Amino acid sequence: MWIRKNHFIILFILVFSGLQSFSQESDQVKLANEYYARGEVEKAKALYEEVSRDPAKVSLIHNNYFFLLLSTDDFKTAEKYLNRLIKRHPSNLYYKLDLGRLYRAENKEGTADKYIRSIIDQIVNNPYLTRHAATYFANNQLNQYALLTFQKSRQVLNNPKLYSLEMANLYRIESNREQMVEEYLNYITANPNNSRYVKNTLSNLLTETGELEILETLLYQRIQDEPANITYVDLLIWTNLQLKNFYGAFIQARSLDRRQGKEGDKSIEIGTIALRNNDFNTASKIFDYVINTYPATVNYIRAKMYLIQAYELRVKNTYPISEEEIRKVIADYNVLIGELGIDRNTLEALRNKALLHAFYLDEKDSAITILNRIVQIPRTNREIKAKSKLDLGDIYLLNGEPWESSLLYSQVEKEMKDTPIGYEAKLRNAKLSYFKGDFLLAEEHLDIIKKATTREISNDAIFLSVLIKDNIAMDSTEEAMRAYAEIELLLFQNKEEEALQKIDEMISHFPFHTLSDEILMLEADIRMKRGEFLESIDLLSRIVEQHPLDILADDALFKTGEIYELHLKDTGKAMEVYIEFLGMFPGSVFAAEARKRFRTLRGDFDHLEEESTF
């Protein structure tokens, strides 16, 4: 019993002494760190030196101590300290790398380089140590040594695509865009399922057209070297789409369809993207190709429908709009419907036909009859039915019956709640309130729609909301905003002469209002649609000159280039305007399109081969 009690007492004394010693040592580390934090360099160094002799405590103070030695040029003490650590811990990579840093700090470049390269040679056969060494170099702004470490490890392990993401990031930091892109291509080759990640990353990093063109060139080279690698073709299609080179994207998509037996799926996809971007000629070529190449397939029907839509959009964007051409479009829809009958594939064609009758031929009764027919067809797709109700609402607004319009919009809003069509219905109700001058109610609708799931609807809501807020903030009577909304309603109802008269009145009554640039833009659009192109250019020039910092300035200059290119067929002048645009508004949402149009007019795509590299 006595012996056990003594053993317990002795054990307690040993443990207590150990804890007391540990506590003292911990207090030393804490105190040294406090000196370090307060900038009391000599006190911190002295205490760190004392603690560093205890192997168990070195890891707690090493980084701070080594930094102090370097920052005070105490290289002799630092070398002695590191050599002691390396001797004590020969397998610790970081202490060895710190010695290399010390040599560099002493300006012993030759010694440092030779030593660091020797360390690299020792570890490059181990991917784990390789990554740790490269991370160390990168964290200490020694990116070239980090890259060298990865490159040597690739050679030793005979894997040229290893470490591709890490190297891509290093090249990005070094502003070496071409090598960065090369490494992302290496990564996507080894990890094709991560193509979306690579596309998103490159989309964020390659913000200049020239950088995307580097990617395009590298992809063509890779495809030539590895024609069977579909991943490169897919990425080349994506790159061409970023450059808005839709025909180039189609060439690759066409080959991909053939290779994968897709019956035109990818081609149709590119055609619809070209259509959304108003490249009607390219879209028409693509749909013609699918019609002729894949008859008796579902894509044949889709392509015929899209081909008519491309023709329709070309007609609508050729000013002044020709009634004869509109009737030709309607005739094409009639042929399609006659060939395929009334079914879910042709209801959209029937709906488009109705809108042409209403908005371009002033045949509103015919349009209402067609749309009511769609709504009443049993088992009609609910989205088509909802869209047709919205169209009916628009036509009633054309007729000056806003209450009927609101009733139909509200029906769709309720029936299609929390869907894009439901939000579109709410947006139309908001516009109806706006047209009536009830801006408070319009804003209530718009605040909800801003959170809509589709970017287009949300952007429309944001634009209208900003327009209202910016132009009634300093005008408590809201008189000018009401007059402007009235003009927009007249234009919706195709009452151009009345709208022009109201514009003249607004310019006279509100010469310096914040709506001045919007008023000029409205009149410029009217003049352009009437074929009065020089008058339109004059109005657009006034926006750029008088309101260079306003939101419509870039839009106005871009439209000027479009008028010269598409309507006046003055290629030289259009190129001048696009160059001026890129100089004035490099960050504009129209910049990529302006650059693409300039390159097209310059003939950059004339050499494009008809066949892809497959």
For residue 586, say if its preceding peptide bond is cis, omega within 30 degrees of 0.
Answer: no
Helix, strand, coil % in the chain, rounded to nearest 5: 80, 0, 20
DSSP state at residue 401: -
DSSP state at residue 343: S
pLDDT at residue 477, as a whole number: 77
Give the pLDDT mean for 398-414.
Answer: 96
For residue 461, what are the CA distances in angstroms to 141, 213, 444?
A: 47, 35, 11
**Tens-digit pLDDT profile for residues 168-179:** 999 999 999 999
Residue 345 pLDDT greater than 70, yes or no: yes
pLDDT bin (cut points 50, 70, 90) of residue 180 is very high
* Tokens 């300093």, residue located: 474
pTM: 0.77
DSSP annotation string for 227-267: TT-HHHHHHHHHHHHHTT-HHHHHHHHHHHHHHHT-TTHHH
**Tens-digit pLDDT profile for residues 477-531:** 789 999 999 999 999 999 999 999 999 999 999 988 889 999 999 999 999 999 9
Fold assignment, 73-159: 1.25.40
For residue 227, say if its preceding peptide bond is cis, omega within 30 degrees of 0.
Answer: no
Give the pLDDT mean for 411-439.
Answer: 95
When mean pLDDT is compared across 17-21, 339-343, 360-364, 373-377, the lowest value belongs to 17-21
Q: What is the CA angle 149-154-156, rounded to 5? A: 95
pLDDT at residue 33, as a whole number: 86
**Tens-digit pLDDT profile for residues 45-104:** 888 888 888 888 888 888 888 899 988 999 999 999 999 999 999 999 999 999 999 999
Residue 14 pLDDT greater than 50, yes or no: no
Write out the two tokens for 606. 């004339």
Domain ranges of the chain: 73-159, 515-614
292 exposure class (CB count in 10 Å sphere: 0-12, 13-18, 19+): exposed
Give the pLDDT mean for 383-389.
Answer: 96
pLDDT at residue 2, as a whole number: 40
pLDDT at residue 4, as a whole number: 43
Residue 398 pLDDT greater than 80, yes or no: yes
Give 293's contacts (C-beta < 8 A, 6+ positions apart). 264
pLDDT at residue 57, as a whole number: 85
Domain 515-614 in CATH: superfamily? Tetratricopeptide repeat domain (1.25.40.10)
Closest listed residue to residue 550, CA positions, set 512, 586, 515: 515
- How many other CB atoms are there within 10 angstroms of residue 498's CB atom? 14
DSSP state at residue 511: T
Give the pLDDT mean for 301-317.
Answer: 95
**Tens-digit pLDDT profile for residues 246-281:** 999 999 999 999 999 999 999 999 999 999 998 999
pLDDT at residue 148, as a whole number: 97
Q: What is the rounded CA–CA span in Å between residue 33 and residue 189? A: 48
Q: 73-159 and 515-614 share one CATH topology?
A: yes
**Tens-digit pLDDT profile for residues 191-235:** 999 999 999 999 999 877 678 888 999 999 999 999 889 999 999
pLDDT at residue 9, as a whole number: 40
**Tens-digit pLDDT profile for residues 543-569:** 999 999 988 999 999 999 999 999 999
- Can you state the angle between helices 516-529 and 496-509, rounded to 10 degrees? 150
pLDDT bin (cut points 50, 70, 90) of residue 613 is very low
pLDDT at residue 606, as a whole number: 65
Residue 351 pLDDT greater than 50, yes or no: yes
Write out the two tokens for 254. 């066409």
Element (H, E) at 540: helix 533-546
- Percent over 70 (pLDDT), the chain: 94
